[in-house]
Amino acid sequence: MSAPLLEVDDLHAYYGKSHILHGVTFNVHEGEIVSLLGRNGVGRSTTIKAIMGNVPPKGSIRFKGEEIAGCRPHQTARKGLGFVPETRDIFPALTVRQNLQLGEKSGKAGGRWTMGDMFRMFPQLEDRIDAPGGVLSGGEQQMLTVCRTLMGDPDLIMIDEPTEGLSPKMVEHIGQFLEEIAGRGVAILLVEQKLTIALKISKRLYVMGHGKIVYEGTPAALEQASAIRKEWLEV
């Protein structure tokens, strides 16, 4: 197997004096969907924020073989790492079209994604192309955030809780969308609360507890690991 696209080794992170991540280690390969699972507050979101540079990291973060720990978020993004936060950071006063145009990576021709691709996958965004982002539903805003990030043509996209608060039908649609993204060679690191979608679309899974990785395996293996699910995932 080729070298991982993303390699995280002994990652620690703090909020003030609070030690949140305690030596997190994992990797993601090209075109792979990998999920970070765990209950709220175990450090999943902090992990991807530390990778992106939104939280100061301690440890090693290698992307495409290059050490990126300590890079600023805009520097990390330019290297080909996309980040979709849980907060759905769209520009509410700008139209759908303008939000997507802002995501385009300047000076990079021939990217994997066009605005037409976005509208083919999410026709409802095309229907509202001139509507301000702020009037979209929660599901539509989530779609727009993911699409805007893809317009920058990342090699890996980290997505924090994309199905939070969405209808079952929209959750299924998002799952299909993520599989299509991976099918085009874009790796996905998914922070997800819903075990069903993670089991369905992921190639590998990591379970977090108390700021560290407590389990690694395939979806099939986790389905059989009832003790792990009971201790670290089930409410």
Residue with tokens 């069903």: 196
128 close to 54: Cβ distance less than 8 angstroms: no
What is the total count of domains within the chain? 1
Apex CA 27: angle with CA 204 and CA 47, to 5°?
A: 100
Classify residue 90 by burial, with Cβ atoms within 10 Å: 0-12, 13-18, 19+.
Answer: buried
Domain residue limits at 104: 6-232
Domain contains 204 = yes
- Angle separating helix axes 168-183 and 138-150, nearest 10 degrees: 10
Q: Is residue 1 part of a domain?
A: no
**CA 96/CA 230 separation, integer angstroms:** 42
Q: What is the mean pLDDT of the chain?
A: 90
Residue 18, in any domain of the structure: yes
Least-confidence region, from 86-90, 189-193, 220-224, 225-229: 86-90
* CATH code for the domain in which residue 27 is found: 3.40.50.300
- Asked whether 30 and 36 are in contact (CB, 8 A), the reply is no
What the block records as the tokens of 72 is 């600023």
Residue 120 falls inside a structural domain? yes
Q: Does 62 have pLDDT greater than 60? A: yes
Tokens of 10: 């002994």
Q: Which of 89, 88, 84, 55 is nearest to 69 (CA)?
A: 55
Quick check: is 211 in a domain? yes
pTM of the model: 0.92
Helix (H) or strand (E) holding 140: helix 138-150
Q: Give the span between the Cα atoms of 145 and 125, in whole angstroms.
A: 11
- In this structure, is residue 188 part of a structural domain? yes
Place of tokens 């765990």: 38
Confidence band of 194 (pLDDT split at 50, 70, 90) = confident
225 lies in a domain?
A: yes
Percent of the chain with pLDDT over 70: 97
| Residue 96 clears pLDDT 80, i.e. is over it | yes
Q: Would you state the pLDDT for residue 123? A: 87
Cβ–Cβ < 8 Å for 27, 72: no
Encode pLDDT of 120-167 as tens digits. 888 888 999 999 999 998 888 888 998 999 998 999 999 998 888 778
